[in-house]
Amino acid sequence: MNRLPPLVYALGYAGLLPFIAGPLWLTALPAAVPGWVDGLWLSYAAMIASFMAGTLWGLALPTAEGPNGLIGMAVSTILMLLAWVAAALPFTQAIVALAAVFMLLVVAEIWRERVLDPLSGYFGLRVSLTAGVLVCLIWRWLLI
């Protein structure tokens, strides 16, 4: 059973830092937060949701000739488009919509893990990172 390289875990958890930075800054020093922070933070969240949808596509590609590969690629595309649309919503609604996209990404990962070739350690990493993202999205939403 192959495990993911340590660098994958390090980069994955490092990717949570921008998610944490926005709500932490607003919690610790609300008067010092520039007006552009929320837009940048939301763009990052949408970009990561799209990136994660793209990883599903990449994992479905080896089976693209069959129905499961086509389903994986279609679901990936739909999730990417949902992240893009979510980012265009007003800020409060965008947070909720992006949280829904991240939860749908976990559902897609459950399907991928069962139907396509599982990747040792990947599902656990994705779930823990998504939990961190959801905590940050909820934290930021509570600060509104």
How far apart, in whole angstroms, are the C-alpha atoms of residue 107 and residue 72?
12
Question: What is the reported pLDDT for 118?
Answer: 84
| pLDDT tens readout for residues 36-57 | 999 999 999 999 999 999 999 9
Radius of gyration for the chain, computed over Cα atoms and rounded to the nearest angstrom? 16
Give the mean pLDDT of the chain: 96
The structure's pTM equals 0.95
What pLDDT, on the 0 to 100 scale, is given for residue 8? 96
| DSSP string of the chain, one letter each residue | -----HHHHHHHHHTTHHHHHHHHHHHH-GGG--TTHHHHHHHHHHHHHHHHHHHHHHHHGGGTTSHHHHHHHHHHHHHHHHHHHHHHS-HHHHHHHHHHHHHHHHHHHHHHHHHS---TTHHHHHHHHHHHHHHHHHHHHHT-
Q: What crossing angle do the helices spanning 91-115 and 37-60 adopt, rounded to 10°?
A: 20
pLDDT of 1 strictly over 60:
no
Give the pLDDT of residue 125: 96
- Asked whether residue 3 carries a pLDDT value surpassing 90, the answer given is no
pLDDT at 122: 94
Closest to 25 measured CA to CA, from 40, 3, 7: 40
2 versus 58: which is more confidently predicted? 58
Asked whether residue 124 carries a pLDDT value surpassing 90, the answer given is yes
Residue carrying the six token digits 């939860």: 103
Q: Domain extents for the chain?
A: 6-142
